[in-house]
Structure formats: C-alpha cells, structure tokens
Structure 1
Amino acid sequence: MRLILPVLVAILLLSGLAFGQTIDPEVRAGIEARRVQLEAIESLLREDPREADLVALSEEVRRLRQEAALAEAPVARQIDALRAELEALGPPPAEGEPAESEDIQRERRRLNQQLAEAEAARAQIALNIAAAERLAGRIAELRREAFTEDLFARTPFLISPELWTDALRGFQEGYGNAVAAYRGWYDSTSERGRLDVAFGSIIGALVLAIALLVPVRRALNRLIAKRIAGLEPYPSRRVILAAVRTAASVLPGVLGGFFLYEALRLNGAIPEEGEVLARAIWFGFIVLLLADGVASAVFAPRLPAWRVLRLETRSVFVIRGLLLGSAVVIVVDRVLIRGAEVFGGSPALTTVQEGLVSMTLGILLFLLARDRLWSRGEDTGAEAAGPARVIEGEAPPGAPEAPARVVAPAETSREEPRKARTRIRVFVRILAVIAVLAPLVGYTNLGYFIATRTFALFALFGLVWSLRALMREMVRLADRKFSSKALEEAEGDERLLLSWIGIIIDLLALAVFVPPALLILGAAWADVRGWIVDAFIGFEIGNVRISLAKILTAVAIFALLLWLTRQAQKAAETQIFPRSRMDKGVQNSLRTLMGYIGLVIAFAAGVGTLGFDLSNLAIIAGALSVGIGFGLQSIVNNFVSGLILLFERPIKVGDWIITSSGEGIVKRISVRSTEIETFDRSSVIVPNSELISSSVTNWTHKDRIGRIIINVGTAYSSDAKRVIEILEQVARESTDILNYPAPFVVFEDFGASSLDFSLRAYIRDVSESLRVRTRLRVAIHERFREEGIEIPFPQRDINMRDLPEDFFDRAFPPKPGDPA
C-alpha cells in the first residue's frame, strides 16, 4: 500500500497536468467579450430599435451564438475529464474513517476548484446562448413589424392630380439630368476629335448586335427545325430540344449585346456614375432574351408536336405574348429605378411608377390565370392521357351487344391535380385583383410587392422546373443508352434505382428553389445564409448531431453503395453466370443474396455516417421483436421462409410446381412472396410461408424427366394382346419417349363398354408433356384404324313400357296426304 499510493498520486498529477488545467484565458476572455457584446446589443434595442441596422444586428447575434456553441464543446470535455479524475480518486473518506494523505487532499481540492471554474464557464456560455436566442427573437419581431409597416404604409391615391404633378416635375428633372449627361459626353468627345470614331464603332456594334439577334437566331431555329423533321417527338426529346432552342435563342443576342455594351464603355458613353444604370439595362436585355427563348422553346408556337406543355395553338400565342409583355414591364421598371438613382427622381414619381407597374402586372397576371388558356393542356395530349382502356359493355341475355366504352386510365388519380391547379389559378386571380386595386386606394407598396414578387416566384419556379425536367430526362436517356436489353427486361431493380435518382433530383430542385424564393419574399441574404448554415450545422439529439450535411452525405453513401451493389449484380448476371454451369435457380439465389448483403452494408454505412452508434440498434431490435409478437408474425414468417427457399432451394426459378394456389412456372422468389406464372399468362403471388409449410408438387426439382399416362379403351371384340403390342410399338417408335425406363402398357380393367388400357412412358422434358401426349394419341388413333381396332363410345338401350295406345298418334299426328 505504501508503494502503490505514491505511484497513484504521481499518475493523477500527470493526468491533472494534461487534462485538469484551468480554463484557458483566451476562452474565458472570449466568453466575457461575448457577454459584453450581447448586453450592448440588448441596450441598443431597448433605447431606439428604429435607428439600428436590424439586419446587421441579426447577423452579429447569430455569429455570437455560433461562437458560444463552438466554445461549449471543449469546456464540456474538460468537465468530463475532471469528473473522471475525481472518480479515480474515489469518494472522500466518511466520518470515522482514516483521513487521506496530504497529497490526495491537495489533488482533490485542486480538481474541485478547476471543476467549479469549468462549470461556471459552461454556465456563462449557456447564459450567452440563451441571451443570443432571446435577442434573435426580438430582432426578428422588430424586422417583421418594420416589414409589415412598410408594406401597408398609406400612399397618395394613384388618381390624385397633385401626385401626378409632383411625379411629372420629378421626371422632368431626371430627364434633364440625363440629357445633360449625354451632352457632356458629346461635347467632350467632340473636343477630342473622336466623335466620328465613337459613333462609327457604336453603330457598327449596333448593326452586329441586330444581325446576331435577328438573322442568326432565325437561321439557328430553321437549322434545328430541319434536323428534327424526321424524329419522333418523345417526351425526352421535347425537353432536350427546348433546352437547345433556348440556348440557340439566347446566346446570339447575349453576344451581340455584349459587343454593343463594350463599344459604349470603351468610347466613354457610359460614365462612372452611370455604370449602375448600364448594368441594369444589360441585365434586363438578358432577361428579355431568356423570357423570349424559354417561351418560344417550351410552347413551340410553330412546332406543335414538340411542345413541352400540350396546349392549343391559340392559347400558346396568347400565353407567349402575355409572358413577354410582363417581362418587358418588369425590365422597364428596374431600369427606371436605377435611372432615378443615377439622374435623380422624387417620391411622387416612385409612387406613380410603382402604381402603374402594379396595375399593369396585375392585369397581365389575371389574363394569364384564365382557365381557358390551360384547360386544353390538361385534357388533351396522348402523353398526358395515356392509352385508352376499352371496357366491353354488358347486356342481358338475348339483348343486342352493348357498345364498348372507352375509359382513360388513372382518370380518378388525375382529378386531384386538376383541382389543385384550378385552385392555384383562382388564388393567382385574387392576387391579381389586389395588385390592381391596391394602388387605387392608397396601398401602392402592397400592390407593387404582390405583383412583382408573384411574377418573380413564377419565373423562378419555371426555371427550376425546367432544370429538373431536363435532369430527369437526361437520366432516362442515359439509362436507355447504357442499359442492355437483358437488364431492361430484368426484375425491377433498375427502375427502383431510377426512382431514387428522381427523388434526389426533386430534393435538389427544392433546395435550389427555396433560398431564392425566400429572398424574393423579402428575407435578407444574411438571414438566408444563416438558415443554410444552421441547417448544415444541425442540431443535437442526445449525443448525436443531426445536420443537413450529414443527411446528404449519408444519402449519397447509401445511394452509392446501393448502385455498386446493382453493378455487381449486373456484372455477375452478364459476365460470370453465363460462363458458369449453374442453373437459373442458383443464379437467382446468388443475385438476391448479393442484393440483401449490399442493402445491409449500405444501410449500416448510412446510419454510421449520421453518427448513430450501431450498438444502439439493439433497442430497435427489441422494439421490432415486440412488434413481431403483436402483429408482424406473418411478415417475418414469409421473410424467413424466403431465406429458406433461397438456401435450401426446394423450389427455384424456372421450376414447374403445383400448389394449392395454382400451377405454373416459378418466375421470381423475393423476400415476402414467390411469383408463379400460370400457363394462361396470369401471375399468382404465393406467400413464401405457404410453400414451406404446405405440400408442393415440383415437376422439375431434380431433373426434367417425367412420366406420362395415356388412357385408351377398345371394343370387347378386340384382341387384348394385340392392343398391348400396338401400344408398346407406338411408344418405342416415338422419338419423344425414353428407352430407359422402358415404356409399358397396363390392362387396367373391364369397363362398362370397353377394355381399358393405359400406356405409361417417360419423356426427357416434362414441360413438353402436352405435345407428346397429343402426338402419341394421334399415332395410336392411326394404328388402331389400320388394324381395325374399334374405340367404342358408351351406348344405352331404352325400354319404354306402360304407354297409352294412342301415345304416338298424339305425339306425332298425321299430316294431310300421309299414307294411312
């Protein structure tokens, strides 16, 4: 004991130097600095929140909270280390027990002091986090109040004469400043003697831009139309062609606009203070080109067969015109706003401009939301409706045959989306009415916000939807190009993988849509960026941190391993199995087991990536066992039975079996059930437990050799020995009958009207039994006819007695002219 105690004290001292140090001064200073900053922000909000930059304060509070959360983890680890050291020292001696040595007491006091300091630091961090969350909520509330107050602020009525007078005065002032800026550039260029060169280069760039915008675009569109003239307009081709036509319509105009912009900038026609306006014009020009290109490509007014949305031609032209008109209004609005910032304006001019824009866009939005423009796209189109299904009409016996009626497939399932689209259009029309009426009653800000943001949201949705559709069609094209015919005809694994890829594409499209949509609806970029960061950093559940980054990584790993499993199954099915001598049943079992193993590995890797301890799955297994005890016995029974079928292989793919549920060929053995294809091409899904617990006749379990029996009867006047010889000879002459075991004939019985014989023979492939029986019966019939052996049919003698004497006279009365 005297030797052990000093060694223990030395170990504890060394561990205390490594893990039991006091809180780092920098960490303590950071905790205190964050507390002071949070108190200063709270004081600022308490004094005058309207003068504060709420967006900047929100970003600062979020940063302080994140720093506090990051500082909490090392302090918590230090507290755990100190508690572990105290536990290693053991509990302090109770009253009456021998006292500890001086060294142990000193070490215990030091560890308790450090633990108290660490816990105090963690408590202060928790207070800082709580204060940051409280301030974040307060700032968010103030920002919502400011946004609502600005949105519903009253402005002069749009029909007010004083408003128009002030707006005209502001427009004249801004116009004069713009003219003065142009004259200044004109005079300075003339003084340098470069006016002709400047005008020449600008006019040349303008001519080049017009040439690229008109003739070149038309030539590209004609070339594309010529190349697709002989192609079938499949859905994939329509989407890809829309993307190609959009690029062909936009790129020449963008190139021409770039030349013109550079010509203006190099000749000094764009002053430094006018860069904002020039960029607005340039960006608006690109928006117009993109709107025209997308509308022309998606709706294809001149190529009805290649329309992505199957609409009527008249509706297509109207929608395209309304969309282009809306784009022009929005672009002009943004250009005028930037022009007012450069050359000056007035609040009255801004109010008039926003009111006119709100009313114009509201009218265009109302016209776009009419049901007549979109109804044909919902009710027509072969791709939309799908192949029709014919149901034969039923008629009562003796009545004429009822005509067939045509019913579109999935008619009920299409009703709900149609109703949803109708509700959306009704809601849009309500927004359009508000956008038109709001400026007239003094709520110009509200109407302008509704009109512009609605169009921006629809434009964003259309862009994201187009990218999503293009990605999905590219995946389908790649699948059709690189998948072999054998794999396309395989079970459903490839289609399942494509479904998962489609879901991932939809999630990516949603992730791309949400942040810009929040910005359009009024959220600040700092807030959106903070939400994205918070989503990726995640939140803690116990000791596990759940974050979007981990979820995406886990999904990606799961999908990758599942894809690798499918590739391994493909390689085995196309490269390994064909070169082996294994039958189809063994191949199917191995392929299924590979899928199960790959699925388990992918699931374990995905769950491990999320940070869950796989040992905790024992709790889930316990819950599953309870569920099995209550209601999952049948599912587990079928699953275990499926494993038995795969390993023991009493039944394999390709076998001809007879069960209580039906007779047919085994097509697939899955986890829960086995698919049997009957001889009339119907599928019978049999639970695996039935195949294990019930008797099953398997015609091809060991081999495909089987016995057939042909019954035949002859007249009592026939020579039985000769009949046996003929039947044996027919069997031996047949190429379908095996010589060993040899065929033989059995004299079955003396029947009611015939001597009954049976020919029993073995054939190579029992699946050919029907054809072999037919050929043997034909041969037997021909030989019996040659030998004069009669095959009788049942005959009956009828004796009639106790009939009236005039029965026949009444039953068959004589006709006039009959002999007496």
Structure 2
Amino acid sequence: MAPGAWAQAPDDPAAEAKTQLNQADKELKAIRTALPDAETRETLTPLFERAMAVQRDADDAQAALQPELDQLDTRLTQLGTVPEGTVEAREVAQQRRSLTQQRADIAAAVARAKLLAVDAKQLGADIEKMRVTQLSEDLARKVNSPLSPSLWRKFARDVPADLQELGQIYRQAETTARKAIAQHGWTAPLTGLAVALLLFFPLRLWLRAAGRRYAQSERAPDGRLRRSGLAVWLLVVGTMLPGLACVVFFGALDAIGAIPPRLEKVVFSIQVATYIAAFITALSAALLVPKRPSWRLLNLDDAAAWRLRKYAWGAAALTWISIVLMALNRAARTSAITTVAVDGLIAITYMALIIAILVSLARLHRRQTDEAEAKLEAQAQSDGKAKGPPRRSGWIVVARLAGHIVVAAAVIATLLGYLNLALFVAQQLVWGAVVLLAASLLMKFADDLATWLLCPTSSVGRTVLLTTGLSESRVVQAGVLLSAGLRICVILLAVMALTAPLGNLSALYGGLDAVSKGINLGDNLVLKPSSVLYAVLAFLLVWAVMQAFQRWLTDTYLPKTELDAGARNSISTVTRYLGIIAAVLWSLTALGIGFEKLALVVSALSVGIGFGLQAITQNFVSGLILLAERPVKIGDWVKLGDQEGDIRRINVRSTEIQVGDKSTLIVPNSELITKTIRNMTMGNAQGRIQIQFTVPLSTDVAMVRQTLLDAYTDHVGVLADPAPSVFIDSIANGQVAINSFAYTSGPRAVYGVRSDLYFTMLQKFAAAGIALSSPTDIHLVRDPAPPQAP
C-alpha cells in the first residue's frame, strides 16, 4: 500500500475516522462561533450537547485508529532494525518506508483525536459554568414586588399589547388550521380526536379496572406484590394513556400541516406538560387509593387521602398551566412585566398549595399522635402500668420543619421581588416531593418483585431450584441481591429526575458516557461496565452448565458404574471445583484479563501465597491428593490419635469425621497426609473378635474349647470363613490362658457380636460347671497390740 493510501480507502476504518475528525473539528469551531450569542440557559443546553457529541466522536475516532496503530507497530517490530554496515533489500526497505509513513499519519490522527476530545470536554465545562452562572443570575434577579402598585400599573399598561400578540398567534393558528382542513379535510383531525378520547376515557378506565380485577384474583402473586404491582400498573396506565392521547391528537393535526411553525414548541410543551400532570395525578391515585383503604400504601386515613388527592389534582393542573404559559410567553414574545406578573401569580399559587398540603399533613400527624396516645392509655389501664408518650418519628419532624422554613423563605422572596427564586423553589418542592414519592413506590415494587421472583415457592423460584441445584437459602439471597440492584437503579433514575429541572442532564449523561467507556486500570486494561456485565453473565452461564453436568454425573451416570461411594464423591467434588475454576477463567476472559495478565498477577502474589497462605495452600494440595490417591474415602472408619469415627465428607481444605457421639471432627487435610492414621476398613472389610480369659489348671480345656466353638458357630454374626479358632496362650501359676478369635462381616459389628458372645459364653460355662479364674486378692491383717500393764 502506498504511503497515505489508507486515507483514500473507502472501507478503511482509519479513513472513516479521519473524515469523522474533520467533521468534529468543524462542529467544534461552529460551537465556539455560536457561543457568544447564547444568552439564556435554553440556548446553552443545545451547545453543551453538541460539545459532548464532538467529544464522543473524537473518542470513537481514537478507538478506531488505535488498533491500526498497534498493528503497524507490530509489523515494524517484526521487521526489526537494520544492522550497521548492512544494506537492506530494496523490497524490505520500501515496505519499511511505507509502514513508517502510515504509522506517522495514523499517530498524528490519534494525537489529533485526543486533542479534539480534550478541547470538546473543556468547552463543555465552560458552557456548563456559563449555564450555572446564568441560573444563579436569574435566581438572584430582583423585580418589583407583587405588593408594589407600580408593577400592576405597568402590567395593566402592557396587557393590551400582549393580548394583541396572543391574538396574533391565535389567528395564525386558526388560519393555518383552516387552510390545512380545507386542503385535507376533517378526516385526520376527527380521527385523531376520536382515538385520543378512546385512549383517555374508555381504554384508560378499562385497563385500570382490569388491573384491579387481576390483583384481587387468585392468579395474582401472593404477598405484598399484589398492592405494589397494582400501584405501579395504575401509575403506568394513568401516565401513558393521557400523554399518548395528547400526542395522537396533535400528531393528527401535524400530519396535515395544521400547526404553524411558531407554535411547534408550544405544542411540544403541551405534550410534556400533559405527561407530567398525568404522572402526578396517577401517582396520587396509586399511593392514596381513596376508595379502597385496604390497598393504600401510605399510612393515611380516608379524610387525609381525599384531601391530599384534591391537592394532587391542583398541583397537576398548576404544573400544566405554568408550563404552557411559559411556552406561550416565549412564543408570543410578551413583555417582561407580563412575564413577571404571571410568574408571581404562579409562585403565589404554588406557595398557597404547599402551605395547604403542610397544614393537612400537620393535622394528620396530630390525629395519629392522639390515636396513639389513646391506645397507650387504654393499654395502660388494662395492664395497670403507666406508659410514656408515644415516640415521634424524628425524620418526619425534621421534614416538616424544613418544609415550613423553605416555604417561609419562598414567601418572603416573593414579597421582596425575587420571583424567579420563589418560583424555582416552589416548583422544586413540588417536583421533588413527586419524585421521592414515585421513587419510594418503585423501590417497594422492585423489592416485592425481586423477592417474589426468587422465592422458593414461586414458579420462577422453583425453576431456578431445579435448574441450578441451589439451596432455598441461596435463592432467597439471590432475590435480596436482585432487589438491591433494582433499587439502586431506581435511585439513579430518581437522581436524574431531580436533576432534570436544573437543566444539566447533559452533564450527567456525559459523565455516564465517560464511565461507560471504561476506567483505565493500567496498561491495556480498561474496566468497562459492559465487560463487568459480560463477565458476570459468563460466570453464571458456565457455573450453571457445570452444576447441571455435576448433577447428571452424580445422579445418573456414577450410580450406574461399579465405583464405590467414596470414588463417586471424589469425582463429583473434583468436577465441582473444576467447574468453578472454568467459570472464573471464562469470566476473567470476558472482563478483558487474558491468561498472560493472570499469570503476572499469580506470579506477583506467589510470595504472599508462600508465606501468608501457606497453610491454606498445603491443605488444598493435600485435599487434591486425598481425592486422587484415596488413602481414605467416604464411609471409612479411621482412627486419628485418640479420636476415631466415620469419614462423612472430603473437601479440598478439610475432611469431616463423625465420631461416636455423633459430633463432627473437622480435620485439615494436611493432618491426614503427613500424620499416621489407622484406616479400619481400607484393606479388609472384615472385623476380628478376640476373647481372652483364664481357667484353673484342673479345668477340662477340651470342653472349654468346644463350648467356645459352639458359641461362635451358633451366632449369626460370626463368619464361617475364616473359621473361629481357640488357642492355649500360656500355662503359668496354676492357670491356663485361653485366647480365641472369630471374624465378622465388618469392623462395626465387632462390638455388638463380642458382647453377645460374652453373654452366651458365661451362660454355657455356668451350665457346664466351668469356673473362670479370678484375680487373687491378698489382704494383710495386723493383730491388735496387747494392752500395756498398768
């Protein structure tokens, strides 16, 4: 490829990246040119979004160019350097010059992309500072007080001109609508109106009733999800259908050109206002439920629920009117005095509404306090004990106090002429309350949904139990973790919703976009949220597959083999840990951490593993040896020191031994490898019985021998092969020492069989008159001393 030819290749990503950089550079210059003419926050916000788009384009171009640069570096490295005194072949030298030129061009483009990204980021930060400064200036701007007569005199003087402007807009809208209808007819407007009315009234009411019927039926989930799910359903239906009705109606008018360009922003504001107002009313219906107290999520009585429901309707109507009036003021270019007067009236109305809500909440709190006190008094009279006053919630008191302080400050700001500040505070109070209530509802719904989905008794929970083999407690824990994740998402959405009226959502999006591109943790290692998600999904997928394979191996295949229980357990345990290792390695690969980087990490941790984790590593390796060599296995009866018992489980770190009193002895695997251990059932499954006693020398030893053999033969627990045997062990001191042996089917049967044989032997010896020798006791008796003579 000739030098510079990469820039002309139509399908070359480097050429596309260079073109993208050129366009980004032109866009950045255009933003700088338009920045001095931006006088309001509404005009600064689009410029900020354009600057963030330039930064994203520059980052994308750099991401497209970097692989090309790395590939060229690799090819140049393969060519190596030319030794001094040698002449390089012509073809190789030409290829080296071509690659060097290409690398220089791409490196310059990468540097340019980095510089453009930094410039765009800095320009966005400057625009954001300007927007914040303008917001501060708007909030600090002082105008005439609503109590000032001069304000209303100026307002009365400018009202005719403003009404004339509004009339001109009305006439323009009417003229445009008449022309559009005359050209296209009434079909589209009437159809849009009919669909809008159908969405708003019959369909909305039917969907709400259908949701209530389902929540009350037996098909609905049990528990708290019935109420929270119904509340979310009412919120979604009550928000979406009125907004869709408004969008459909104006969309039908726009389809025939019945909306003039001057009113397009007003129409868009009406649609936004409809969605917001519908959201407020639907949220109040979902939380208050005035007609069905048993489904109410808030701790309110019926009177407070009805009163707050009316206030919610008032807040929704006031919000809709304020948004539409602001849009009309901008479209009609009304006078500043009219804008100030309208803002003052809206602010005062907001303050009156908020004060009414606070008074209603105070009355509700007093009623609840009186009821609690009455209940405590009744309980105290029944118990005969005096009880203190009921405890009040501290955060409720603080919230009410803060609300009164903010409202008082807003009222004072309104009276002093700081209308922008008062209106901003009032709107933020209403919007903040709406967002917090919606967030609390969604958090309850997220918690109820997650715990229901991963409940062992639900259909999803049973499916998870059957497919993954997890215990019920683990499934419940997964539900708790899912609930935490969903609630974190709700909190992030609430933060974004609270930030939206401030106008800096673009900055938040820019930060999220920067985070989504990854966090640089070192050379060639970028941690991206998508990579983390892929790693988690890869781990869960591989782990689930290995769990299914292990269950098939344990329940289906291994029982069909001739392996004993210990061998089957060893294979199952090794398979489980191999599955975990495979899942971890796969997740690390999905995270972008290759095996070469993992080897570097392991080598760096080798010293720490050698010293700090020496015991754990030793036990782990010993566990692998136990599972491979199987000197002991599950079911073996072992004796370790003064402890003995049955091996119940062999893990990679420790072994569990159940001793005679049914307690569990947990032994590190290194103890079973490095120390002497007696395996009672390893080499031979038979158990041996030994009975020893002595008889006098005058006893008929032949009869003794036959009696013992008969006792062994008669007992069902004694094996015929090997046959029992009786021996004379020694003859000394007038005693004959008898020693006998017999065998049972297993060591665990020795104790019981030997006890039975003792009973039988003593009975037969007594019947035959055979006496057993007993230890001779020697007692020394000292005669008393003779009495002394007086």
Q: Using the TM superposition, name which of 615-624 and 205-214 deviates more.
A: 205-214
In the other structure, the counterpart of 2:717 is: 736
1:507 aligns with 2:482: no
Contact 2:311–2:357 (8 Å) recurs in 1 = yes
Contact 1:676–1:685 (8 Å) recurs in 2 = yes
How many residues end up aligned between the 2 structures? 688
> Could you tell me which of 465, 470, 473 is aligned with 2:449?
470
In the other structure, the counterpart of 1:58 is: 48
> Could you tell me which of 568, 572, 583 is aligned with 2:553?
572
Residues 571, 483 of structure 1: alpha-carbon distance in 2 compared, 3 angstrom cutoff: farther
Residues 16, 593 of structure 1: alpha-carbon distance in 2 compared, 3 angstrom cutoff: farther
> Could you tell me which of 621, 624, 627 is aligned with 2:602?
621
1:595 aligns with 2:576: yes
In the other structure, the counterpart of 1:439 is: 410
Tell me how far 1:221 sits from its aligned partner. 7.2
Residues 771, 641 of structure 1: alpha-carbon distance in 2 compared, 3 angstrom cutoff: same
In the other structure, the counterpart of 1:657 is: 638
> SS of 1:652's equivalent?
coil
1:12-56 per-position Cα deviation (integer Å, ceiling 9, x unaligned)? xx5758769899776555434423432443465567664663332
- The one-letter amino acid of 2:496's match is L
Residues 30, 456 of structure 1: alpha-carbon distance in 2 compared, 3 angstrom cutoff: closer
In the other structure, the counterpart of 1:681 is: 662
- The one-letter amino acid of 1:61's match is A
- The one-letter amino acid of 2:428's match is F
Counterparts of 2:445 and 2:140 in 1: how far apart (Å)?
A: 35
- The one-letter amino acid of 2:518's match is G
- The one-letter amino acid of 2:21's match is I
1:124 aligns with 2:112: yes
1:346-745 correspondence to structure 2 within 5 Å:
346-359=342-355, 431-432=402-403, 434-435=405-406, 437-442=408-413, 444=422, 445-446=424-425, 449-450=428-429, 452-454=431-433, 456-476=435-455, 477-478=458-459, 481-482=462-463, 499=477, 503=481, 506-522=484-500, 524-540=504-520, 541-660=522-641, 662-710=643-691, 722-745=703-726
Contact 2:447–2:487 (8 Å) recurs in 1 = yes
Counterparts of 1:138 and 1:558 in 2: how far apart (Å)?
A: 43
Tell me how far 1:473 sits from its aligned partner. 2.9
Tell me how far 1:165 sits from its aligned partner. 11
Contact 2:542–2:579 (8 Å) recurs in 1 = yes
Residues 706, 211 of structure 1: alpha-carbon distance in 2 compared, 3 angstrom cutoff: same
Residues 118, 42 of structure 1: alpha-carbon distance in 2 compared, 3 angstrom cutoff: same
Tell me how far 1:649 sits from its aligned partner. 0.8
> SS of 1:346's equivalent?
helix
Counterparts of 2:217 and 2:475 in 1: how far apart (Å)?
A: 37
Contact 1:453–1:521 (8 Å) recurs in 2 = no
Contact 1:363–1:432 (8 Å) recurs in 2 = no
Counterparts of 1:709 and 1:486 in 2: how far apart (Å)?
A: 53
> Could you tell me which of 209, 218, 223 is aligned with 1:238?
223
In the other structure, the counterpart of 1:333 is: 315
Q: Using the TM superposition, name which of 117-126 and 424-433 deviates more.
A: 424-433
Q: Using the TM superposition, name which of 493-502 and 616-625 deviates more.
A: 493-502
- The one-letter amino acid of 1:536's match is S
Q: Using the TM superposition, name which of 795-804 and 566-575 deviates more.
A: 795-804
Tell me how far 1:440 sits from its aligned partner. 4.9
- The one-letter amino acid of 1:463's match is L
1:228-269 per-position Cα deviation (integer Å, ceiling 9, x unaligned)? 9xxxxxxx942455467658988999999999999x99xx9x
Contact 2:17–2:65 (8 Å) recurs in 1 = no
- The one-letter amino acid of 2:223's match is R
Identical residues among aligned pairs (%): 23
Query: What TM-score, normalized by structure 1, do the two folds share?
Result: 0.67
Counterparts of 2:217 and 2:144 in 1: how far apart (Å)?
A: 54
1:371-415 per-position Cα deviation (integer Å, ceiling 9, x unaligned)? x99xx9xxxxxxxxxxxxxxxxxxxxxxxxxxxxxxxxxxxxxxx
1:651-695 per-position Cα deviation (integer Å, ceiling 9, x unaligned)? 222222222484322222222111222333322221111111111
> SS of 1:53's equivalent?
helix
1:48-94 per-position Cα deviation (integer Å, ceiling 9, x unaligned)? 66466333222212211111122224444555566667667775787
Contact 1:284–1:335 (8 Å) recurs in 2 = no
Tell me how far 1:610 sits from its aligned partner. 2.2
Contact 1:296–1:320 (8 Å) recurs in 2 = no
Counterparts of 2:737 and 2:530 in 1: how far apart (Å)?
A: 81
Residues 519, 100 of structure 1: alpha-carbon distance in 2 compared, 3 angstrom cutoff: same
Counterparts of 2:201 and 2:616 in 1: how far apart (Å)?
A: 74
Tell me how far 1:569 sits from its aligned partner. 0.9
- The one-letter amino acid of 2:25's match is R
Tell me how far 1:286 sits from its aligned partner. 3.1
Counterparts of 2:87 and 2:242 in 1: how far apart (Å)?
A: 91
Query: What TM-score, normalized by structure 2, do the two folds share?
Result: 0.69
> SS of 1:665's equivalent?
strand
Q: Which runs of 5+ in 1 are unaligned?
A: 1-13, 182-197, 229-235, 302-308, 310-315, 377-420, 807-820
Contact 1:753–1:793 (8 Å) recurs in 2 = no
> SS of 1:657's equivalent?
strand
Counterparts of 1:754 and 1:152 in 2: how far apart (Å)?
A: 119
Contact 2:348–2:411 (8 Å) recurs in 1 = no
Contact 1:212–1:253 (8 Å) recurs in 2 = no
- The one-letter amino acid of 2:127's match is I
> SS of 1:675's equivalent?
strand
Residues 25, 481 of structure 1: alpha-carbon distance in 2 compared, 3 angstrom cutoff: closer
Q: Using the TM superposition, name which of 687-696 and 698-707 deviates more.
A: 698-707
Counterparts of 2:694 and 2:305 in 1: how far apart (Å)?
A: 86
Counterparts of 1:461 and 1:580 in 2: how far apart (Å)?
A: 57
Contact 1:738–1:764 (8 Å) recurs in 2 = yes
Counterparts of 1:71 and 1:473 in 2: how far apart (Å)?
A: 46
In the other structure, the counterpart of 1:766 is: 747
Residues 355, 677 of structure 1: alpha-carbon distance in 2 compared, 3 angstrom cutoff: farther
> SS of 2:223's equivalent?
helix
Contact 1:72–1:122 (8 Å) recurs in 2 = yes
Tell me how far 1:647 sits from its aligned partner. 0.6
Q: Using the TM superposition, name which of 349-358 and 98-107 deviates more.
A: 98-107
- The one-letter amino acid of 1:459's match is A
Q: Which runs of 5+ in 2 are unaligned?
A: 157-161, 171-192, 260-266, 329-340, 373-391, 414-420
- The one-letter amino acid of 2:58's match is A
In the other structure, the counterpart of 1:133 is: 121
Counterparts of 1:675 and 1:644 in 2: how far apart (Å)?
A: 16
- The one-letter amino acid of 1:517's match is V
RMSD: 5.7
Counterparts of 2:216 and 2:71 in 1: how far apart (Å)?
A: 76
Counterparts of 1:153 and 1:758 in 2: how far apart (Å)?
A: 114
Counterparts of 1:161 and 1:360 in 2: how far apart (Å)?
A: 25
Counterparts of 2:681 and 2:713 in 1: how far apart (Å)?
A: 24
- The one-letter amino acid of 2:446's match is L
In the other structure, the counterpart of 2:336 is: none
1:80-132 per-position Cα deviation (integer Å, ceiling 9, x unaligned)? 566667667775787xx588899988877766655544443333222211111
Tell me how far 1:543 sits from its aligned partner. 2.4
Contact 1:333–1:353 (8 Å) recurs in 2 = no
- The one-letter amino acid of 2:721's match is Y
Counterparts of 1:632 and 1:288 in 2: how far apart (Å)?
A: 59
In the other structure, the counterpart of 2:287 is: 291
1:401-449 per-position Cα deviation (integer Å, ceiling 9, x unaligned)? xxxxxxxxxxxxxxxxxxxx98877875665565555435537444653
